[in-house]
Chain A
Amino acid sequence: MNRKSADIVVIGGGVVGCATAFELARLGCKNVVLVERNTIASGSTGRCGAGVRQQFGTELNCVLAREAVRIFEHMDEYLDYEPGVEFRQSGYLMLAYSDQQWEQFQRNVELERSLDIDVKMLTPEGAREIVPFLDLEGMVGATFCQTDGHANPFHTAFAYAQAAKRLGAEILTHTSVMDIEVENNKIQAVVTDKGRIATSAVVNCAGAYSAKIAKMAGIDLPVWGERHQILITEPVEAMMGPMVISFHHDFYCQQTPHGSFIMGIGMPGEPKSFNIRSSVDFLEGMANTVMKILPPLGNLRVVRQWAGLYDMSPDAQPILGECPPIEGFYNANGFSGHGFMVSPIVGQAMAELIILGKSSVDISKLDAGRFERGELVFEPAVVG
C-alpha cells in the first residue's frame, strides 16, 4: 500500500468495526477501508464473555439489545456465513440479592415488557427450576429472559469481515494507525504504518484505545481501558442452559455450546490501564464465587485464564455518533463491557447515520457531547 484513498476509514477490526464496515458497504458505500493493527477479533472481541442480553434498566439499552438480538437470530443468513455464529437463545438468569436490587429488577422488567421483551420474574425456587444446582442462600428473586443468549464472538466478527469484503470493503490487518490529518476541522487522511489513506470520514471503533485515536484528531475522548478477567473450564455434557449473572457478586457464568463453562468476576479497584495479563487473585476470587453460587462447578477443571479490556466511558454507556467540532470523525466506542452484544445494531445505526444522516434507532443521546452537557445516561444493570 502506498498512497490511496477511501470514502470512509473504519479504525479497529473488532466486532463493532467489522459490523460497521459491512453495514456501510451494504448501504452502498463503495470504498470502505477497515484498518486493524493486529488481526480480526484479536482485541476485546476475542476476549469477551460472549453473552447477549436484553435485560437492561434504560430504554435505549433495551431497544439496542432487542434490535441486536433480532439480527443475531438470522445472522447466518444475513451474512451468508456457512460455519455459523453459534447464536443460542438459552436465556439469561439474573439474580437479585437485596430488596433494593429486587425493586430495581422489577422496574427493569416493567420497562422491558413495555418494549416487547419477554422477561419472567421468579422466586429463588423458580430460578432453581431453570438451574437445578443453584445455591439459593441470600437470594431474593431472579429474572429470566429466554430470548437472551450467547454467540461466538470470533465467528461473529469473521462473518461480518467476510461479508464486508464480499461487498467490496477492504480490510487491512497488521496495519497500525499512526496519525489522523485534520485541516479546518475536517478529516483529510488516516496515516498508517503501511501508508497514507486520504479520506473525509473516520469511524473510531478502537475499543479501549479509542482515546488514543481521538487524540490524533485533536479530540479529548473520555474512554479508557479497564482489565477484566475470564476463565474457561474443560468441556462437560450440557448441564446449564442460561447465562447466570449476579451484580451483587459482580459475577457471570455460562456453558458454551461446546460444553466448556466460561465465567468472570469484576475485581474491585481495577485501575485504568491497558494491562491484559492474568492474575492469580482473579483465579481465587472466581473459584470462591462460583462455588458459592453454583457449587457443583467446583468439580470442573480450569484449562485457561485470560484478560481483556473494557472500553469504559464515564457513564458506562457507549459513545456513538459524530464528534464536533471535527467534521467526519465518528465514534463507536466506550461500550464498557457490552460492545459485543449490541454490535449488530450499532453497525447498522452508525452506517445509517453516516450515509443517510439519521439512524432508525435514535442514538443521539449517546453522542460524545453528553459529557460536556452533563447529560450522562446511567444504566443500573451492569456487571463490573
Chain B
Amino acid sequence: MPQFSLYEEEFHPSPWQRTWASFKASHISMLGLIMLALFVVCALFAPLITPYDAVEQNIDGLLIPPSWLANGSISHLFGTDALGRDLFTRIIYGCRTTLGSAFITVVLALLVGVSLGTLAGMLRGVRSSVVNHLLDALMAIPTLLIAIIIVAILGTGLVNSMWAITLALIPQFVHHTRSFVRAEMKKDYIVASTLDGASKWQLFVHSILPNMTEMLVVQGTLALSIAVIDISALGFLNLGAQSPLPELGVILADGLDVAYLAPWNVAVPGMTIFFIVLSINIVGDGLRSSLRKRVSH
C-alpha cells in the first residue's frame, strides 16, 4: 500500500466529508462548534469538573461575589447564591440538566415526528389530508400553552415540561419529514426501487432514510435551540423544573430575588443560556450553509 496517493482525483470524499470540509472552512462555525463542545463536555463530566455539591447549602458563604470582583474569592469562581451554593457548580450542573433534557426531548420528538411524517408522506387521499390538517392546527398552538395544560393535569416538574416540549416539537419534524418524503417519492430512484418490487418499508429504510439524515440533523439543531430556550423558560416561569434542581431557568429565577444585592446570580445563568443557544444556532447555521453549498455544486 502506498503511503499517499499521487493522484488526488482518486480521493472521493463522501458527502459527509465534503460537508465537514466546507464547515471547517468557516471560522465562525468552528467557534460555535468548539463552544458547543465545551458545553457538552461540561454537561457530561459535570461531577468531575465541579468543586462543590450543586444542592448542598453553605450557610457561612451566602452571596459571595464572583472572583473577578474586588471582594470575591477564587474558591467560588462565579460566587455563591442566596443559600450559599457555589454558582459555578450549579451552572455546570444546570448545563447538564438543561442541555441533557433538551437533547432527550429532541430525540424523542424526532423519533415520533419522523415516523408520523413518513406515514403522512406515504399516505394518499383523505387520510393524509386529515393528518396534515390536524398537524397544521397542532403546530399553531404555542408551546407555552401546551406546557401550561400539561402542568395543570400532571403537576409541575422537569419531566412534565419535557413532555410538553416534545409534544410541541413533534409537528415540525412531521412537517419536514412529510414534505421531504413527498418530494422524494416523486424522484426516479424511488420509482426504480418500486419497480424492483421494494415494499414501502424497504423503500423507507433503504432509500429515503439515508437521504433524510442531513435534513434531520439540521432540523435537530434547530429544535435543540428551541428546546433549550423552552425548558429554561418553563423553569424560569416556575412551570418546569423546580428549585433546588439546578436548571438554568430555575437558577435565573432564584437569582431574580436577590437581583439587586447579587446581580451575578441573574447575569451568569442568563449568559449561559444565551451562549448555549447561540452556539447551537451557529453550528446549525454553519451546517445548513455547508449542506447548501454541497448540494448546489
The answer to whether A and B interact is no
B positions within 8 Å CB-CB of A:
none
